Amino acid sequence: MDAVPEDWERALAIVAHPDDLEYGGSTAVAKWTGQGKTVVEVLATRGEAGIDGMDPEEAGRVRAAEQVEAARRVGVDTVEFLGLPDGMLEYGLPLRRALTAAIRRHRPEVVVSLNFRESFPDGGFNMADHRVLGLAVADAVRDAGNRWVFRDLGLEPWPGVRFALFGSSPRSTHYVDVSGHLQDGIDSLLAHKEYYANLGAGFDAAAFLTGMMEPAGRALGVEHAMVFEMIET
């Protein structure tokens, strides 16, 4: 497995829900912002359907605020929400158009997202929003560079994305050495305190991320590692 290249300056992280990026990806973000790189986050939804005992309007407000705090903890100042319906994302031109607009606006060299495969590395079935959003991200990277696609956006094409990274994929190909940044990632995941309190599952953020990154690091000869599936453009 090769190391993710880090000779770039701007990344755009695009995920479906508040907390998606914090399951490992934000640990890598903490490393990158610590190097002086700029990372912007774009979320398709506000996660309003994620708390069963809370009205969606209130849940969306709470979860968006928690995402902004989670981002702040890993050095991200800009968080955008597209306002699409949580739990009901649909693959198609409207979603690709919205993501293409985000890529053209922010003009990143690297795009980061979540696993779009049917399953996670442990064999668990991946949810629809993740599958739909991740695949649309992969396609929007190409769309963003084609000046004849989504011409109505009024935005200049951006063919400058070098590669896209998808965390928690069963087909991981590359890794980021996040040694020294594990606690940053844990802190960012812990920012979603209201969400986890309402789930009532006793989730242990430190154990979860350590259990993911310590074995990966050991296998790769570093202390901690976050692995990604890379699609080069």
Question: Where are the chain's structural domains?
Answer: 2-232
**Cα distance between residue 13 and residue 130, in whole Å:** 14
* pLDDT at site 197: 84
Provide the b/e sequence for 26-50 (b: ≥16 CB within 10 Å): bbbbbbbbeeebbbbbbbbbbbbbb
- Segments of the chain scoring below 50 in pLDDT: none
**Cα distance between residue 57 and residue 32, in whole Å:** 33
* pLDDT at site 201: 64
Q: What is the pLDDT of residues 153-189, one digit of tens each?
A: 999 999 999 999 999 999 999 999 999 999 999 999 9
pTM value is 0.96
In words, the CATH class of domain 2-232 is alpha beta
* pLDDT at site 73: 98
